[in-house]
């Protein structure tokens, strides 16, 4: 290696150090701190915090509660997060992609896109409140629509009943988050050469065939970004739950981040809160790892 | 195979008239080229035939069937795009097979049939070895062949090509020109080809439609548009170097008609004398650079000039000659077939024009006076 390159590397390190120090103090430090706290027990260091939070059976704080199935929630915060992801992730990803494709030809599409994007811009706490109103028996659009089409069982305040609270939050979060998928996918579709679609049209493809055979595979990179970001969002979800249901009724809509908050703010059980936080962090590392690998591959 | 007919087709984009009352007839099996500068409406015309745009008025017929408002897929045309539009996520095989796969059930094709047809077309275009590669791994010329193969696989009635050679380097473009012409003749598919390259048009076309500002100015064989341009635009757009144009006036003097041009005045030569001509006062003389002879010593019926620039091009030499001492910009270009004598800038020469091959245009309309 020549001296010139060596000097350059030294300079490079100098430029990186200030940023690294900030990240170390404000990101890496707290993570390590949380990790250490999660092992702190009244009798020294151990795994009892983890044992306690995993085996917890109170519906409001349990992570997994799958006895006497099938039955309506509560199923435990971890299961709620997984159910949330299982419904919300494919729904927003696909809806956003489909809308981005359909809106391509609509006059005034940028206005529609902006409106859809509002869901992402407003504070999630406000989003949670809106969800509560949307599913209210008297003023909410969803129960009223259900009543109109004769679904009398759903003509109620969804967030007040264990069997509908979780699904109300999930549907509401689809409404809030689809703008993200729409925006990313619309940008990806706009950047495709127009001739891809035109060539397919001349070759005899229907709109549906163009969507599946040309658009979906061509915007794969954007879809991966949407999937990973949505998974992270689903796992970290807190504000909506806090504002709309407080995890209730009876823990029927609680999630990991909310349980962590309960341990931390109500029980003042910092060790247990840290244990839930570590579990949550480990879970979020899965999509993050997938994403980083893809980015490295592309880079 | 099919004929294509456009009747008074108009296409506007907002206030801009992209295609202005265009009527054309392309014969069965013909290699027809739409030629014109950027923005002249040639690509829009092609897109109207493809069904990617719909006209504001006028009709389009393929084989006497009105297709004006049919979807592209119902017109049985295939198109090769300037950027080839190959799908990057598919292999070459999948790209070529794509049009057939879409209509597999309708055409009653098995997977084996499709494979056979892809191989057949691949062999024709000499790309059998590339079938398992992705478009990103191909050179420009190879991508071009794949795009051609995809446009051929369906055996369409009409082949549409939008400047398919413009992304290739000069040498490859020459090779592909010949190859494309051979392929078209071999298969006999009616082909409509868009280009702004006049050399490409002259070398490949059966007939050329020269377009400018949304209008068709002239339709004819390459010889016709080159030798008998109907409009001064055609003369100056086609040919390298283009036709020389000199703005002149016609004056009557003692019962004789005089041609007054910058740099010279003479009686109207017998070859171009016509009744229509003498009624027009302002005309444009159009002279191809190869129809002017350069003589070193004064001779009757010649125009005196001074050589400004000599451009030797190997097989020919182009001279830039000023014929008007009062204006340095009155330049005539002369094409000499061989280097018979070394001319030098600054030399005085005498030009002899072959008046039988001169075109005369009306200065106000630009159209040929016949």
Sheet strands side by side (includes B57-62): B16-26, B4-13, B57-62, B65-66
β-strand B348-353 against B359-362: which pairing, if any? unpaired
Asked if A83 contacts A70 with a C-beta cutoff of 8 angstroms, the reply is no
Is residue A121 predicted with pLDDT exceeding 70? yes
Report the C-alpha gap between A124 and A122 in whole angstroms.
6
* Total structural domains within chain A: 1
pLDDT at B107: 82
Assigned superfamily of B4-237 = P-loop containing nucleotide triphosphate hydrolases (3.40.50.300)
Contacting B with CB below 8 Å, chain A residues are: 193, 195-196, 198-206, 209, 213-214, 217-218, 220
Does the residue A145 lie in any domain?
yes
Report the C-alpha gap between B222 and B200 in whole angstroms.
11
Task: Name which of B73, B87, B150 is nearest A214 (Cβ-Cβ).
Answer: B87
Q: Which residues of B touch A204 (CB under 8 A)?
A: 73, 99, 102-103, 154
A167 CB-side CA count, 13 A: 11
Residue A56 or A173, more confident: A173
pLDDT at B257: 81
Does the residue A54 lie in any domain?
yes
As a whole number, mean pLDDT of residues A5-21 equals 83
Is residue B274 predicted with pLDDT exceeding 70? no
pLDDT at B215: 93
End-to-end Cα separation, chain B, in angstroms: 37
Q: Give B176-235 pLDDT, tens digit per residue.
A: 888 889 989 988 999 999 999 999 999 999 999 999 999 999 999 999 999 999 999 999
Handedness of CA B51, B154, B35, B207 (dihedral sign): negative
- The two tokens of residue A105 are 């030809």
Q: Give B25-39 pLDDT, tens digit per residue.
A: 999 999 999 999 998
Is residue B308 predicted with pLDDT exceeding 80? yes
The domains of chain B are located at: 4-237, 244-362
Residue B161 or A118, more confident: B161
* B9: helix, strand or coil: strand
Residues in contact with A167: Cβ distance below 8 Å, sequence separation at least 6, in sequence order: A87, A158
Prior bond to B29 cis, omega within 30? no
Asked if B98 contacts B87 with a C-beta cutoff of 8 angstroms, the reply is yes
pLDDT at A42: 82
- The two tokens of residue B183 are 């392929």
pLDDT over 70 percentage in chain A = 97
Task: Name which of A193, A206, A217 is nearest B85 (Cβ-Cβ).
Answer: A193
Is residue B10 predicted with pLDDT exceeding 70? yes
Does the residue A233 lie in any domain?
yes
User: A75: which DSSP letter?
Assistant: -
Q: What is the band of A276 on the pLDDT scale with cuts at 50, 70, 90?
A: very high
Does the residue A290 lie in any domain?
yes
Q: Rounded to 5 degrees, what are φ and ψ at B7?
A: -120, 115
Does the residue A18 lie in any domain?
no
Report the C-alpha gap between B246 and B360 in whole angstroms.
10
Interface test with B, best of A197, A199, A211, A217 (most B CBs within 10 A): A199
- The two tokens of residue B102 are 């879409």
B99:A198 CB<8 A: no
pLDDT at B20: 93
Between A101-110, A111-120, B267-276, the lowest mean confidence (pLDDT) is in B267-276
Residue in A closest to B160 by C-alpha: A202
- Mean pLDDT of chain A, nearest integer: 88
Question: Element (H or E) spanning A294, and its range?
Answer: helix A270-298
B52:A217 CB<8 A: no
Report the C-alpha gap between A209 and A206 in whole angstroms.
5
- Mean pLDDT of chain B, nearest integer: 89
Residues in contact with B217: Cβ distance below 8 Å, sequence separation at least 6, in sequence order: B210, B211, B230, B231, B233, B234
Domain that holds residue A268: 47-298
- The two tokens of residue A29 are 């430090």
Sheet strands side by side (includes B215-220): B77-80, B158-162, B190-195, B31-35, B207-212, B215-220
pLDDT at A49: 86
Q: Rounded to 5 degrees, what are φ and ψ at A33?
A: -60, -45
Q: Which of A128, A112, A121 is nearest to A172 (CA)?
A: A128
Residue A131, domain CATH: 1.10.3720.10
pLDDT at A299: 60
Q: What is the band of A181 on the pLDDT scale with cuts at 50, 70, 90?
A: very high
User: B27: which DSSP letter?
Assistant: -
pLDDT at B226: 93
Is residue A297 predicted with pLDDT exceeding 70? yes
Residue in A closest to B162 by C-alpha: A195
pTM for the structure as a whole:
0.81
Determine the topology of domain B244-362 in CATH: OB fold (Dihydrolipoamide Acetyltransferase, E2P) (2.40.50)
Report the C-alpha gap between A159 and A156 in whole angstroms.
9
Is residue B328 predicted with pLDDT exceeding 90? no
Report the C-alpha gap between B235 and B244 in whole angstroms.
8
pLDDT at B276: 62
End-to-end Cα separation, chain A, in angstroms: 24
As a whole number, mean pLDDT of residues A150-158 equals 84
As a whole number, mean pLDDT of residues B140-164 equals 90
Does the residue A35 lie in any domain?
no
pLDDT at B8: 94
pLDDT at B340: 65
Report the C-alpha gap between A116 and A97 in whole angstroms.
13
Residue in A closest to B76 by C-alpha: A202
Handedness of CA B102, B105, B106, B109 (dihedral sign): positive
Does the residue A244 lie in any domain?
yes
As a whole number, mean pLDDT of residues A287-298 equals 82
As a whole number, mean pLDDT of residues A149-158 equals 85
Q: Give A254-263 pLDDT, tens digit per residue.
A: 999 999 999 9
Does the residue A167 lie in any domain?
yes
User: B231: which DSSP letter?
Assistant: B
Q: Measure B244 CA to nearest chain A CA, in Å.
A: 40
Task: Name which of B50, B71, B85 is nearest A196 (Cβ-Cβ).
Answer: B85
As a whole number, mean pLDDT of residues B56-74 equals 93
pLDDT at B296: 86
- The two tokens of residue A117 are 């994007």
pLDDT at B370: 72
Asked if B27 contacts B191 with a C-beta cutoff of 8 angstroms, the reply is no
pLDDT at A189: 93
pLDDT at B205: 94
Q: Give B90-131 pLDDT, tens digit per residue.
A: 999 999 999 999 888 888 888 999 999 999 889 888 888 999
Report the C-alpha gap between B169 and B201 in whole angstroms.
17
Report the C-alpha gap between A221 and A298 in whole angstroms.
9
Residue in A closest to B106 by C-alpha: A204
Q: Which residues of A touch B102 (CB under 8 A)?
A: 203-205, 209
């Amino acid at each position: 290696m020549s001296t010139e390159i060596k000097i350059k590397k030294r300079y490079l390190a100098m430029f990186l150090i200030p940023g690294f120090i900030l990240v170390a103090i404000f990101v890496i430090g707290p993570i390590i701190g949380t990790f250490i706290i999660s092992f702190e027990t009244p009798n020294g260091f151990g795994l009892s915090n983890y044992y306690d939070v995993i085996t917890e059976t109170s519906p409001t704080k349990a992570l997994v509660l799958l006895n006497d199935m099938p039955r309506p929630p509560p199923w435990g915060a971890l299961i709620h997060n997984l159910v949330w992801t299982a419904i919300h992730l494919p729904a927003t990803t696909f809806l956003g992609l489909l809308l981005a494709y359909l809106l391509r030809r609509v006059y005034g599409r940028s206005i529609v896109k902006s409106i859809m994007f509002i869901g992402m811009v407003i504070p999630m706490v406000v989003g949670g409140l809106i969800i509560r109103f949307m599913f209210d028996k008297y003023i909410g659009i969803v129960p009223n629509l259900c009543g109109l089409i004769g679904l009398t069982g759903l003509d109620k305040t969804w967030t007040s009943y264990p069997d509908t609270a979780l699904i109300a939050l999930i549907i509401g979060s689809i409404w809030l988050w689809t703008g993200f998928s729409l925006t990313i996918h619309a940008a990806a579709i706009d950047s495709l050469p127009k001739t891809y679609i035109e060539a397919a049209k001349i070759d005899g493809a229907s709109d549906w065939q163009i969507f599946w055979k040309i658009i979906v595979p061509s915007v794969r990179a954007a879809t991966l970004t949407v999937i990973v970001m949505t998974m992270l969002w689903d796992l970290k979800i807190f504000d909506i739950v806090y504002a709309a249901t407080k995890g209730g009724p009876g823990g029927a809509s609680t999630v990991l981040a909310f349980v962590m908050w309960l341990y931390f703010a109500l029980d003042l059980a910092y060790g247990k809160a840290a244990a839930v936080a570590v579990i949550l962090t480990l879970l979020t590392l899965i999509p993050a790892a997938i994403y980083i690998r893809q980015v490295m591959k592309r880079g | 195979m099919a004929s294509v007919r456009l009747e008074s087709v108009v296409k506007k984009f907002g206030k801009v008239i992209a295609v202005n009352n265009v009527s054309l007839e392309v014969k069965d099996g013909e290699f027809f080229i739409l030629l014109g500068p950027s923005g002249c409406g040639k690509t829009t015309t092609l897109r109207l035939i493809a069904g990617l745009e719909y006209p504001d008025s006028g009709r389009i017929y393929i084989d006497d069937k009105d297709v004006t408002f049919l979807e592209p897929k119902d017109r049985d045309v295939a198109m090769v795009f300037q950027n080839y539009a190959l799908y990057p996520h598919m292999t070459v095989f999948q790209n070529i097979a794509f049009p057939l796969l879409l209509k597999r059930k309708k055409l009653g094709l098995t997977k084996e049939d499709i494979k056979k047809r892809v191989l057949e077309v691949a062999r024709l275009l000499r790309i059998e070895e590339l079938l398992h590669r992705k478009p990103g791994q191909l050179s420009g010329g190879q991508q071009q062949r794949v795009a051609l193969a995809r446009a051929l696989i369906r055996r369409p009635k009409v082949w549409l090509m939008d400047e398919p050679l413009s992304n290739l380097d000069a040498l490859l473009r020459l090779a592909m020109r010949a190859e494309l012409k051979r392929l078209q003749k071999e298969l006999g598919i009616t082909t409509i080809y868009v280009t702004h390259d006049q050399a490409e048009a002259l070398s490949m076309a059966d007939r050329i439609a020269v377009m400018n500002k949304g209008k068709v100015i002239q339709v004819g064989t390459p010889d016709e548009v080159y030798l008998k341009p109907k409009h001064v635009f055609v003369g100056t757009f086609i040919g390298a170097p283009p036709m020389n144009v000199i703005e002149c006036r016609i004056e009557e003097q003692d019962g004789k008609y005089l041609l007054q041009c910058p740099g010279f005045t003479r009686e109207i030569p017998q070859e171009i004398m016509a009744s229509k001509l003498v009624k027009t006062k302002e005309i444009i003389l159009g002279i191809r650079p190869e129809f002017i002879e350069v003589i070193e010593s004064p001779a009757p019926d010649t125009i005196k000039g001074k050589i400004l620039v000599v451009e030797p091009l190997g097989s020919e030499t182009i001279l830039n000659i000023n014929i008007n001492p009062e204006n340095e910009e009155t330049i005539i270009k002369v094409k000499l077939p061989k280097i018979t004598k070394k001319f030098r800038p600054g030399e005085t020469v005498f030009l002899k024009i072959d008046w039988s091959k001169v075109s005369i245009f009306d200065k106000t309309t630009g159209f040929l006076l016949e």
